[in-house]
Chain A
Amino acid sequence: DAGVTQSPTHLIKTRGQQVTLRCSPKSGHDTVSWYQQALGQGPQFIFQYYEEEERQRGNFPDRFSGHQFPNYSSELNVNALLLGDSALYLCASSLGGSGSYNEQFFGPGTRLTVL
């Protein structure tokens, strides 16, 4: 049983470009959350998807957008990249959306470097 997977592992972009990161949740999970982890910091919540809709959103600009597909996999899109967007982007999957706590399982992350 595969856990949470993310692709790509590493990515280098230049300022102003756009990027798409992908996440496949753990088998049986239907909820995907995205986090940004800057170097030396804790993960910061970007948004959560459940039933193909954005259910919760953190304090991130609308340059950050996402999507969830019918098979529960998800994408994170970032437009007009800034140097400050360089970070490890973590995807976490869980079961049942919001309203009750179920353990989040993290993926290995995508390391994004913006030059």
Chain B
Amino acid sequence: GENVEQHPSTLSVQEGDSAVIKCTYSDSASNYFPWYKQELGKRPQLIIDIRSNVGEKKDQRIAVTLNKTAKHFSLHITETQPEDSAVYFCAASKGGSYIPTFGRGTSLIVHP
């Protein structure tokens, strides 16, 4: 089955800095890669996703890149704000089921 590795487990940045979270996946058939944000005590919420037919996608301060050859994808957050503090999960899934396999999460802490 699919295996998703996520790094780092904790990321501490100053407000205004950029943050990068990296994930690798094992199944070359995976073709859909969502990212979720989970604030403390709250439900995971989809923040951005990317399909395997594109290499990069942006949404305001958030961007995701995908390297299919290397089987890795990354989340980039620019101009971080304290409200970006949360646990971020990457996931990989593929057609037929689209059941996501999640990484273990990255705790992002943005210091004011």
Residue numbers of A with Cβ under 8 A of B are: 4, 33, 40-45, 48, 56, 58-59, 90, 98-101, 103-104, 106-109
Confirm or deny: B89 has a beta carbon within 8 angstroms of a beta carbon on chain A: yes
Give 19 A-B contacts (CB < 8 Å), ordered by A residue.
Answer: A4-B43, A41-B105, A42-B91, A42-B104, A42-B105, A43-B102, A44-B102, A45-B99, A45-B101, A59-B1, A90-B43, A98-B96, A99-B95, A99-B98, A101-B32, A104-B46, A106-B44, A106-B45, A109-B43
Please give 12 more A-B residue pairs, beta carbons under 8 A apart, in addition to A98-B98, A100-B95. A42-B102, A42-B103, A42-B104, A44-B102, A48-B97, A90-B43, A99-B95, A100-B98, A101-B95, A101-B98, A103-B34, A106-B44
Residue of B nearest to A35 (CB): B102
The listed residue (B89, B95, B99, B104) touching A33 by CB distance below 8 A is B99
